[in-house]
Amino acid sequence: MEAPVFSFEKLQVWQRARELNHKVF
């Protein structure tokens, strides 16, 4: 995982995108 530079909102979006695109990630 990269350094915690992104904001918490981006983290939530990334987490949700990871769940939706679990096959890709």
| Interval 5-21: pLDDT, tens | 668 788 888 889 888 88
Higher pLDDT residue, 22 or 18?
Answer: 18
Residue 10: its pLDDT value, please?
A: 85
12, HSE (Cβ side, Cα atoms, 13 Å): 3
Q: Is the pLDDT of residue 3 over 70?
A: no
This prediction's pTM: 0.40
**Alpha-carbon span 10 to 4, nearest angstrom:** 11
Counts of helices then strands in the chain (DSSP H, E): 1, 0
